[in-house]
């Protein structure tokens, strides 16, 4: 069931820190002996610092049964758990005020109307992506994995190995091989061919998967459909490592900053999310230091960056300019004790960085498919034995949803009795 699920998370390690771990687009039941691609393994240039490059907002790890978070169901099936720290609040900074927002059945939207305006509450609802709604139900708590979000990956990898799964981490898939109209395996950058016994399951985005297929293998109308699927915008990222000495002792892990209601929550450079996971998981930074990740959530236009040479002065200038908004909000959240110039680590990522290291076409957050207007595609493809399960597929973007996407695909590949056995095992 879980062959692909860890793929959704593999890139949660430091990515701008030049450590790349790749998996995905892999063949199930591989018969070859696989080793990692040594060219993809590099030393962490910032010893002691460990950054999350993506998810940091988690909940429901302890949930079980029918209503559980799909990721918790997968971990349950593998007999694994992720040690977490629980918490229940995050700081909200609005143009007119700032306050601590608690999750659970609170009156958050009413508070927002009171402190800001009805328009602000309407705008906020746009941010109510997949799990936010869950956070306002009774008994909910947020959970941050000890050892960072890489801890989730580690649990999935352990679970896979325990059940005899063979993982080829650190390998780049160059091509999905199609023979006689069927997907039969993958060709790695190293030149190695991995033959699939049952199926090839791609965890790369729909656009990236398309680029790995021979042009003639996929009907033109399907390829066009994929190319025309609208994409969410990309990200600006700021990763900082700094001395915690002059930072408030009660600093929270998560902060959301809205700069200007009149521009809308989805306007570029208007909303910044900040995560300081080392306040909960001390081992993410050297003793006495913090790691921080600030980002503009899927609102940075790729078009601004497209075609720029990453070494050009123009690129560097634009990077400094677009980084400014994140630096300003970090100062607001961390207080006067914070100084950008005193940071031991300062890494700015652009949509080009995101595209390169997170290996996402145009550095996109995912398909811009609006609920009620269209649906995310299913997991089978027009090519027999090729399946896709990732956030361009049903049920969509976010860690719990991609875990569900993996589970659905895995269930399509096993027999009904095996399927039933697993459902029984996890109490569904
Ligand atoms: C900044 C940011 C913050 C986020 N925060 C949250 C959050 O707090 N909570 C949450 O639930 N979700 C969050 N998300 C969304 C979540 O991270 C994604 O929806 C999820 O990771 C998508 O999983 P996926 O498996 O579909 O794709 P990916 O995570 O993109 O996984 C695809 C994998 O395939 C690999 N790959 C691609 N091409 C190849 C190739 N040719 N060969 C080998 N490997 C390849 C990539 O390296 C990657 O590891 C966030 C996203 C971002 C960008």
| Test site for ligand 1: of 236, 364, 399, most ligand atoms within 8 A of the Cβ | 399
Q: How far is the CA of 113 from the centre of ligand 1 (A)?
A: 34
Q: How far is the CA of 213 from the centre of ligand 1 (A)?
A: 20
Give the binding-site residues of ligand 1, using a 6 Å CB cut-off. Answer: 7-8, 10-11, 22-25, 54-57, 172-173, 203-204, 208, 235, 295, 358-360, 365, 390-391, 397-399, 402
Q: Is residue 39 pLDDT above 70, yes or no?
A: no
Q: How far is the CA of 358 from the centre of ligand 1 (A)?
A: 7
Q: Which atom of ligand 1 is nearest to the CA of 173?
A: 42
What's the pLDDT at 91?
94
Q: What are phi and psi of 263, to 5 degrees?
A: -85, -15
Q: How far is the CA of 122 from the centre of ligand 1 (A)?
A: 28
Average the pLDDT over each of 70-74, 83-87, 114-118, 335-339 and give the range with the smallest value: 114-118
Query: How far, in Å, CA of 406 to CA of 358, rounded?
Result: 19
* Cα-based distances in Å from 146 to 52, 85, 128, 133: 12, 7, 26, 24
| Test site for ligand 1: of 294, 398, 401, 407, most ligand atoms within 8 A of the Cβ | 398
For residues 13 and 56, the answer to whether their CB atoms sit within 8 Å is no
Q: Which atom of ligand 1 is nearest to the CA of 365?
A: 53
Q: Is residue 66 pLDDT above 90, yes or no?
A: no
pTM reported for the whole predicted model: 0.88
Q: Please tell me the residue having the least CA distance from ligand 1 atom 23.
A: 8
**Nearby residues of 379 by Cβ (< 8 Å), 6 or more positions away:** 387, 388, 389, 393, 394, 405, 408, 409, 412
Angle at 258 between CA 257 and CA 259, to 5 degrees: 115
Residue 215 burial (CB count, 10 A): 9
Average the pLDDT over each of 16-25, 229-238, 396-405 and give the range with the smallest value: 16-25
Q: How far is the CA of 190 from the centre of ligand 1 (A)?
A: 23
What's the pLDDT at 177?
98
What's the pLDDT at 29?
37
Q: Is residue 171 pLDDT above 80, yes or no?
A: yes
Q: Which atom of ligand 1 is nearest to the CA of 56?
A: 8
What's the pLDDT at 132?
62
Q: Please tell me the residue having the least CA distance from ligand 1 atom 5.
A: 55
Q: How far is the CA of 117 from the centre of ligand 1 (A)?
A: 34
Q: Which atom of ligand 1 is nearest to the CA of 20?
A: 47
Q: Please tell me the residue having the least CA distance from ligand 1 atom 47.
A: 22
- Pairwise pLDDT comparison (174 vs 7), residue with the higher score: 174
For 173-185, what is the mean pLDDT? 98
Q: Please tell me the residue having the least CA distance from ligand 1 atom 6.
A: 55
Query: How far, in Å, CA of 365 to CA of 230, rounded?
Result: 11
Q: Please tell me the residue having the least CA distance from ligand 1 atom 14.
A: 55
What's the pLDDT at 227?
97
Q: Which atom of ligand 1 is nearest to the CA of 237?
A: 1
What's the pLDDT at 1?
28
Average the pLDDT over each of 15-29, 117-131, 172-186, 237-251 and give the range with the smallest value: 15-29
Q: Which atom of ligand 1 is nearest to the CA of 9?
A: 29
Q: Is residue 18 pLDDT above 50, yes or no?
A: no
């Amino acid at each position: 069931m879980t062959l692909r699920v860890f793929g959704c998370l593999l890139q949660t390690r430091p990515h701008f820190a030049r450590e790349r771990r790749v998996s995905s687009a892999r063949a199930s039941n591989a018969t070859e002996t696989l080793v990692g691609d040594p060219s993809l393994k590099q030393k962490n240039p910032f010893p002691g610092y460990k950054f999350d490059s993506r998810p940091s907002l988690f909940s429901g790890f302890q949930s079980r049964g029918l209503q559980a978070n799909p990721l918790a169901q997968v971990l349950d099936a593998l007999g694994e758990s992720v040690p977490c720290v629980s918490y229940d609040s995050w700081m909200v900074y609005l143009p007119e005020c700032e306050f601590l927002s608690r999750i659970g059945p609170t009156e958050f939207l009413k508070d927002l109307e009171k402190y800001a305006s009805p328009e602000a509450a309407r705008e906020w609802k746009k941010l109510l992506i997949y799990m936010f709604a869950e956070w306002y139900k009774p008994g909910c708590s947020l959970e941050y994995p000890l050892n960072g979000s890489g801890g989730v990956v580690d649990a999935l990898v352990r679970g896979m190995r325990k059940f005899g799964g063979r993982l080829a981490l650190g390998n780049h898939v160059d091509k999905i091989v199609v023979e006689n109209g069927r997907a039969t395996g993958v060709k790695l950058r190293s030149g190695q061919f991995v033959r699939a016994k049952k199926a090839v399951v791609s965890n790369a985005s729909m656009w990236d998967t398309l680029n790995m297929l021979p042009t003639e293998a996929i009907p033109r109308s399907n390829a066009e459909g994929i190319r025309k699927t609208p994409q969410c915008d990309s990200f600006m990222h700021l990763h900082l490592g700094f001395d915690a000495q002059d930072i408030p002792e009660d600093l929270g892990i998560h902060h959301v900053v809205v700069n200007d209601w009149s521009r809308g929550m989805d306007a570029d450079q208007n909303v910044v999310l900040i995560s300081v996971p080392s306040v909960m998981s001390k081992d993410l930074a050297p003793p006495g230091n913090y790691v921080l990740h600030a980002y503009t959530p899927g609102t940075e236009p790729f078009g601004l960056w497209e075609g720029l040479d990453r070494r050009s002065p123009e690129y560097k200038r634009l990077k400094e300019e677009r980084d400014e908004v994140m630096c300003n909000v970090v100062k607001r959240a961390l207080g006067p004790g914070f100084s950008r110039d005193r940071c031991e680590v300062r890494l700015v990522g652009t949509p080009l960085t995101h595209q390169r290291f997170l290996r996402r076409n145009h550095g996109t957050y995912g398909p811009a498919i609006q609920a009620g207007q269209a649906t995310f595609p299913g997991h089978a493809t027009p090519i027999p034995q090729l399946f896709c399960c990732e956030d361009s597929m049903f049920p969509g973007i976010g860690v719990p949803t991609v875990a569900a996407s993996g589970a659905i695909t895995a269930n399509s590949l096993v027999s009904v009795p095996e399927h039933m056995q697993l459902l029984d095992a996890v109490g569904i």
